[in-house]
Amino acid sequence: MSNSFSDLGIRNEFLQSLIDLNISIPTDIQKKTIPLLLNQKEDVVALGKTGSGKTLAFGLPLLQLIDAENTQVQAVILTPTRELGQQIYTNLVALAAHSPQTSIASVCGGIPIKPQMERLKQTTHIIVATPGRLIDLVQRKAVDIKKLSYLILDEADEMVSALQKDLDILIKEIPKSRRTLTFTATMPGAVKQLVQNYMSKHVVHLEADMQQMGHKGIEHRYTVVEPIEKLEILLHFLHSKEGQRGIIFCKTKAAVNKLAKKLAIHKISSGAIHGSLTQGIRDRIMGQFREGFIDILVATDLAARGIDVKETSYVVNYHLPDTYETYVHRSGRTARAGAKGLSLSIIQQEEIERIPEFETELGLSFSEFKKQSAENREEMNLILWAKKIFKTKPNRSISDTTKEKIKTVLHHLTKEELVEKLLADHISAHAGKNATSIPSLKK
Ligand code: ADP
Ligand code: MG
């Protein structure tokens, strides 16, 4: 099989962009998809692992198939989240850097619609959208998708399940003659429905490296904890990963907020992201995570699908996901583009039986992530305590006179003595707390 994008039929202007992006060898899914999209006419259901380059697999041929002379909207790419929509838009713009005549617009929800309406008055060839906002724009007659040639559903299984109603509204606006191209890493039952309801009779099914759903570059681990020690175990794990990028998934928005606050109390900076935050905040947090200003994202499954942040080296399931597919997508935020990554699930005793279920359903294997000995954990807690002090900012609300009095009391201590005493004080306070929290010690 061809080993270059040029052999796959990609034109010079896009080869140039690939050089700029430092991308030279097509991935398996790209090798299979690109010639098919460029040279054939069928609808396509493509299945490829998380992080295997599906965006390029549809993005490159699509850009090449667009007729820039034609002023109609020719392609719509639908995504389940605004963050993913923006990411795909950015990817396409980078791929089209050497073909400025191609016009791409992103119309996702959560931001004012008026500027998008203005933007769509200009020639637009490709629209990347979340379904709700596109419906709104169609209803306001700000965009005409009646001449569409290509409909791409990224995260297709999610689009035809969670977003089915919106999709059905949009489908009515799009000509039957369109080519429908769908991409995803997981294909539960929803896909049969996808083919039946949204695709033509001639569908080509493509798979790349899908003998098992699990992704080989991801190490799957779990650790069983008591509810009371869950946060402590997470803190120790985060300490061991300091300087690396990771995403912690929680089940609910409230749990995301609560955990981000707890991390902040321990002076671990993170960004929280979920669907009840304003789009401005969501964009800011995603931006800071992408740019590396924050290393840790605490998120609901809003961030589970499609999000591609370079060097995300671990994912934590602080709560297990409800479905097997969601596990695949969450863990797939790490080990992207051939990298390796760790997916750690912090579970409680009663959840342990779910691990072999995940193994059988997804064809992957978990290993236990052993908790440290009590001694090591105690030492780790002390180090975390010291780090917390190190990161604490001076409290400006304490009056100077009070500060002076405190300084006078501690005046004769050397730094070493002060550290010794603080440590001893912390240990005795901590021991007291532990004793009261363990019922057997109260007797
Ligand atoms: P998927 O949609 O399959 O989960 P993405 O399209 O988000 O994966 O791509 C994952 C990462 O791989 C992106 O950072 C992308 O730039 C990179 N990538 C895509 N194709 C290639 C390639 N042929 N060589 C190297 N990196 C690639
Ligand atoms: Mg993707």
φ/ψ of residue 245, rounded to 5: -95, 135
Q: Given pLDDT bands bounded at 50, 70 and 90, which one contains residue 214?
A: low
Which amino acid is located at 426 in the chain? Answer: H
φ/ψ of residue 167, rounded to 5: -60, -40
Tokens of 311: 């060097």
> 9-35: string of b/e by CB count within 10 Å (b at 16+)?
ebeebbbebbeeeebeebbbbbbbbbb
Q: Given pLDDT bands bounded at 50, 70 and 90, which one contains residue 443?
A: very low
Do 145 and 135 form a contact (C-beta atoms < 8 A)?
Answer: no
- Which ligand is closest to the CA of 10, given by its number? 1
Which amino acid is located at 294 in the chain? Answer: I
Short-list 85, 76, 88, CA closest to 178: 76
Q: For ligand 1, say whether the CB of 52 is within 6 Å of any of its atoms.
A: yes
C-alpha distances in Å from residue 326, one per residue of 130, 191, 272: 20, 16, 19
Q: In what order do the strands lie in the sheet with 104-107?
A: 104-107, 126-129, 75-78, 150-154, 179-184, 43-48, 203-208
Q: How far is the CA of 169 from the centre of ligand 1 (A)?
A: 31
Q: How far is the CA of 336 from the centre of ligand 1 (A)?
A: 7
Q: For ligand 1, say whether the CB of 53 is within 6 Å of any of its atoms.
A: yes
φ/ψ of residue 301, rounded to 5: -70, 0
Q: For ligand 1, say whether the CB of 334 is within 6 Å of any of its atoms.
A: no
Which amino acid is located at 387 in the chain? Answer: K
Q: Is the dihedral of CA 281, 287, 293, 299 positive or negative?
A: positive
Helix axes 253-265, 230-240, angle to 10 degrees: 60
C-alpha 324/C-alpha 330 separation (Å) is 10
- Atom of ligand 1 at shortest range from CA of 183: 2
46: Cα separation from own chain's centroid: 20
Q: What is the structure's pLDDT at 371?
A: 86
Q: Given pLDDT bands bounded at 50, 70 and 90, which one contains residue 347?
A: very high
Strands 245-249 and 271-273: unpaired
Q: What is the domain partition of the chain in residue ranges?
A: 12-207, 218-368, 396-442
Q: What is the structure's pLDDT at 209?
A: 78
Q: What is the pLDDT of residues 373-418, one digit of tens each?
A: 888 999 999 999 999 999 999 999 999 999 999 999 999 999 999 9
Short-list 96, 14, 98, CA closest to 106: 96
For domain 218-368, give its CATH number from 3.30.70.3340, 3.40.50.300, 1.10.150.20, 3.20.20.70.
3.40.50.300
Do 235 and 270 form a contact (C-beta atoms < 8 A)?
Answer: no
- The mean pLDDT of 132-157, rounded to a whole number, is 97
- The mean pLDDT of 183-206, rounded to a whole number, is 87
Short-list 4, 11, 35, 7, CA closest to 204: 35
Mutate to test the pocket of ligand 1, among 10, 29, 52, 187 (most ligand atoms within 8 A of CB): 52
Mean pLDDT of the chain: 93
DSSP 8-state assignment for residue 148: -
- The mean pLDDT of 103-127, rounded to a whole number, is 98
Tokens of 38: 């460029």
Q: For ligand 1, say whether the CB of 336 is within 6 Å of any of its atoms.
A: yes
φ/ψ of residue 420, rounded to 5: -55, -45
| Residues with Cβ within 8 Å of residue 424, at least 6 apart in sequence | none
Do 171 and 142 form a contact (C-beta atoms < 8 A)?
Answer: no
Q: What is the structure's pLDDT at 189?
A: 76
C-alpha 49/C-alpha 209 separation (Å) is 7
C-alpha 243/C-alpha 407 separation (Å) is 35
Q: What percent of the chain has pLDDT over 90?
A: 88
Q: For ligand 1, say whether the CB of 95 is within 6 Å of any of its atoms.
A: no
C-alpha 407/C-alpha 393 separation (Å) is 17
Which amino acid is located at 177 in the chain? Answer: S
Q: Which residue has the least CA distance to atom 24 on ligand 1?
A: 23
Do 50 and 328 form a contact (C-beta atoms < 8 A)?
Answer: yes
Q: For ligand 1, say whether the CB of 27 is within 6 Å of any of its atoms.
A: yes
Short-list 432, 422, 350, CA closest to 388: 422
Say which CATH architecture domain 12-207 belongs to: 3-Layer(aba) Sandwich (3.40)
- Atom of ligand 1 at shortest range from CA of 50: 4
pLDDT at 435 over 70: no
Give the least confident one: 108-122, 210-224, 286-300. Answer: 210-224
Q: What is the structure's pLDDT at 437?
A: 39
| Residues with Cβ within 8 Å of residue 250, at least 6 apart in sequence | 256, 259, 298, 299, 300, 318, 319
Q: How far is the CA of 54 from the centre of ligand 1 (A)?
A: 7
Q: Which residue has the least CA distance to atom 15 on ligand 1?
A: 53
C-alpha 370/C-alpha 362 separation (Å) is 23
Q: What is the pLDDT of residues 257-311, one digit of tens each?
A: 999 999 999 999 999 999 999 999 999 999 999 999 999 999 999 999 999 999 9
Q: For ligand 1, say whether the CB of 33 is within 6 Å of any of its atoms.
A: no
218-368 and 12-207 share a CATH fold: yes
Mutate to test the pocket of ligand 1, among 2, 8, 23 (most ligand atoms within 8 A of CB): 23
Q: Given pLDDT bands bounded at 50, 70 and 90, which one contains residue 192?
A: confident
pLDDT at 175 over 70: yes
φ/ψ of residue 271, rounded to 5: -120, 135
Q: Given pLDDT bands bounded at 50, 70 and 90, which one contains residue 75?
A: very high
Q: For ligand 1, say whether the CB of 167 is within 6 Å of any of its atoms.
A: no
The per-residue DSSP string of 231-292 comes to HHHHHHHHHHTTTSEEEEE-SSHHHHHHHHHHHHHTT---EEE-TTS-HHHHHHHHHHHHHT
DSSP 8-state assignment for residue 354: H
Which amino acid is located at 421 in the chain? Answer: K
Q: What is the structure's pLDDT at 439?
A: 37
Tell me the β-bridge partners of 249: 299, 317
Q: How far is the CA of 56 from the centre of ligand 1 (A)?
A: 7
Q: What is the structure's pLDDT at 195?
A: 87
Q: What is the structure's pLDDT at 438?
A: 37
Tell me the β-bridge partners of 367: 221
Q: What is the structure's pLDDT at 149?
A: 98
Give the least confident one: 35-49, 168-182, 209-223, 417-431. Answer: 209-223
Mutate to test the pocket of ligand 1, among 2, 47, 55, 213 (most ligand atoms within 8 A of CB): 55
